[in-house]
Amino acid sequence: MSVKRPSKADFLIAAEDHGYHLSDSQMESFLSLADETLDSYEAIDKLYAANVAQQPPKREYSKAPDADNLHGAWYVKTSIAGAAQGPLAGKTVVIKDNVSVAGVPMANGSLSLDGYIPSEDATVVKRLLAAGATVVGKSVCEDLCFSGASFTAASGPVKNPWDMTRNAGGSSSGSAVLVSLGEVDMAIGGDQGGSIRMPSAWSGVVGHKPTYGLVPYTGAFPIERTIDHVGPMANNVRDVAMMLDVIAGADGLDSRQKSPPAVNCVATLDQGVAGLKIGLLREGFAIPGVSDPQVDALVKAAVEQLEKLGATVGEASAPWHSGVAMNLWNVIATDGAAYQMLQGNGYGMNVDGYYDPDIMSYFGEKRREHADALSSSVRAVALTGHYSLKNLHGAYYAKARMLVPELTRQYDEAFKHFDVLVMPTMAFLATPLTAADAPVEEYVHSALDMLANTAPFDLTGHPATSIPAGLADGLPVAMMIVAPRFKDALVLRVAQAYELARGAFPKPPRVQAR
């Protein structure tokens, strides 16, 4: 494909941004040099087309009729059969719509990607199919996945299965709802600030954010490379553990991975909690102006059940968990997302590994075409991040990243005394859905004000499982269990012990009425 050459006007804009002052003769020289360099771009385009590019496979898909999509959770339905045998044979799985399924449309909750059709399955999709699962569709996610609530998707709000006037949690909103309603056995979600665990909590299902780098992110649309996670969601711990065993492990493509160890979570799932030390994280409870006492009480009651099973319970502390961690996350997510997801069209540059040039090109054009339709939470990040990068020069991102090791050290210090840490996943109950035309401040705060307990572990990479711990005012409350990095099997083992002690969790009213 011929690459359009820059004009003098293009280089005047570039020169101004860099602070250059060019004479007319210098300008002509630089334009001539650009013409030579762009010959290489055209050569690379031909080589890529001949050696790497693929055509999307032919796969059937359809939009779910409104009557079958009352909660707004389905993006498209399909039926892609996996291997005839395997640990997930007979299981149906829905894929969060920021994860590529070849030949099936992908929107990432946004008009800026709507209509894009990937040519290759994401690594997690390949592994699920190889393990025998059937991919039955794509689930709606929030606009570019930048919301912990469920009202920002371009397709409309995703409604809580327990109360359709409330948020289901985000950004893996559709995944959680479809699992909760029993329309699928399991789901894939993504997590940069809590986006697996938050919708799991408010929708009443089990969700696990793996250790950073354990599961390859290859083929999922990124937000910020240092906090990107993808992981499993299901109605019970065993299915989550089975999924994690299938999708974990290096794929040789994802730059986030650094030789992760092998996992076999199912093998130790039923070993119980006798002899384990559980730390109630002080800073995760009674958060001033945030925590609901009902939520704290139900989570502490859940821990009491673990104590009856032989665990020892005490109080743990990580002083930066409260307040400081969110300041770190705000800087990293704002500058990082503006730099990579927006200015870098998802993938950014400067690292080895997997890139998807087709989606970068498609998104780069469409996000400008549909700029005014982006959610206010995305535009807030775009504007503040652009200002910060241009005027603060990325220095505050660098400062935040240099402070993350201290936050990590505080949790690791707590793990010297406790095997796992426990706190509420969400500090308060599911909130009412916010109107799409709400004032900007209300819109953004209601999309992002629930990350206090979840986001810190995206920064530090510790594995964390959210599991339902009871109902308050008819809405699910969840307990979050956190362990040292790469001890995902331990987190799920504790969750399994609690699930067995708790018994079957109630189904949402709509499911009960069937």
Model confidence pLDDT, tens digit, residues 256-290: 999 999 999 999 999 999 999 999 999 999 999 99
Domain span at 11: 1-34
- Is a pLDDT exceeding 50 seen at residue 388? yes
| pLDDT-derived band at 1, boundaries 50, 70, 90 | confident
Q: Are residues 30 and 71 in the same domain?
A: no
User: How many Å apart are CA 189 and CA 122, to the nearest integer?
Assistant: 13
Catalytic pick from 112, 147, 172, 195? Answer: 195
Q: Are residues 4 and 121 in the same domain?
A: no
Q: Is there a domain that residue 48 lies in?
A: no
**From residue 45, how far is each of 19, 49, 52, 265, 355 by CA, in Å?**
31, 6, 10, 44, 14
| Cα angle for residues 361, 364, 365 (degrees, 5° grid) | 90
Q: Is there a domain that residue 272 lies in?
A: yes
pLDDT, mean of residues 403-414: 98
User: How many Å apart are CA 196 and CA 209, to the nearest integer?
Assistant: 6
Q: What percent of the chain stands above pLDDT 70?
A: 99
Say which CATH number the domain at 266 has.
3.90.1300.10
Q: Is there a domain that residue 39 lies in?
A: no
For the chain, count helices (H), then strands (E).
15, 12
Pair of tokens at residue 427: 């500090």
Q: What is the pLDDT of residue 139?
A: 98
Half-sphere exposure of 90 (CA within 13 A, CB side): 2
Placement of tokens 């402070």 in the chain: 403
pTM metric for this prediction: 0.96
Placement of tokens 């799932």 in the chain: 269
- Is a pLDDT exceeding 80 seen at residue 20? yes
Q: What is the pLDDT of residue 423?
A: 98
Q: Is there a domain that residue 250 lies in?
A: yes
377 catalytic residue (yes or no):
no
Q: What is the pLDDT of residue 512?
A: 59
- Is a pLDDT exceeding 70 seen at residue 511? no
Over residues 426-452, the pLDDT tens digits come to: 999 999 999 999 999 999 999 999 999
Q: Is there a domain that residue 42 lies in?
A: no
Number of structural domains in the chain: 2
Q: What is the pLDDT of residue 514?
A: 44
Q: Is there a domain that residue 299 lies in?
A: yes
Q: Are residues 489 and 435 in the same domain?
A: yes
Beta bridge partners of 74: 139
Q: Are residues 151 and 21 in the same domain?
A: no
Residue type, 304: E
Catalytic pick from 171, 200, 388, 466? Answer: 171
Q: What percent of the chain stands above pLDDT 90?
A: 98
Mean of pLDDT over the chain: 97
Q: At what angle do helices 376-391 and 440-448 cross, to 10 degrees?
A: 90
The closest alpha carbon to 468, from 432, 506, 440, belongs to 506
Over residues 120-142, the pLDDT tens digits come to: 999 999 999 999 999 999 999 99
Cβ atoms of 260 and 213 closer than 8 Å: yes
Pair of tokens at residue 8: 């003098």
Half-sphere exposure of 262 (CA within 13 A, CB side): 3
Helix H or strand E segment including 186: strand 186-191
Q: Are residues 13 and 156 in the same domain?
A: no
| pLDDT-derived band at 510, boundaries 50, 70, 90 | confident
Placement of tokens 């990082």 in the chain: 336
- Is a pLDDT exceeding 90 seen at residue 360? yes
**From residue 121, how far is each of 124, 195, 230 by CA, in Å?**
8, 21, 14
91 catalytic residue (yes or no):
no
Q: Are residues 328 and 410 in the same domain?
A: yes
Q: Is there a domain that residue 293 lies in?
A: yes
Q: What is the pLDDT of residue 11?
A: 96
Q: Are residues 23 and 73 in the same domain?
A: no
Q: What is the pLDDT of residue 290?
A: 96
Q: Are residues 9 and 137 in the same domain?
A: no
96 catalytic residue (yes or no):
yes
- β pairing state of 312-316 and 229-234: unpaired
The closest alpha carbon to 333, from 428, 226, 487, 258, belongs to 226
Q: Are residues 23 and 170 in the same domain?
A: no
Q: What is the pLDDT of residue 207?
A: 99
Q: Is there a domain that residue 245 lies in?
A: yes
Pair of tokens at residue 180: 């909760």
- Cα Rg of the chain (Å, integer): 23
The dihedral of CA 89, 464, 335, 354: what is its sign?
A: negative
pLDDT, mean of residues 213-240: 98
**From residue 174, how far is each of 69, 77, 287 by CA, in Å?**
10, 12, 28
Over residues 168-225, the pLDDT tens digits come to: 999 999 999 999 999 999 999 999 999 999 999 999 999 999 999 999 999 999 999 9
The closest alpha carbon to 461, from 225, 260, 229, belongs to 229
Would you state the torsion angle of the CA atoms of residues 355, 250, 493, 197, taken in this order, to the nearest 10 degrees?
-10
- Is a pLDDT exceeding 70 seen at residue 513? no
Q: Are residues 24 and 124 in the same domain?
A: no
Q: Are residues 27 and 71 in the same domain?
A: no
Q: Are residues 115 and 19 in the same domain?
A: no
The closest alpha carbon to 507, from 204, 131, 141, belongs to 204
Catalytic pick from 77, 91, 96, 138? Answer: 96
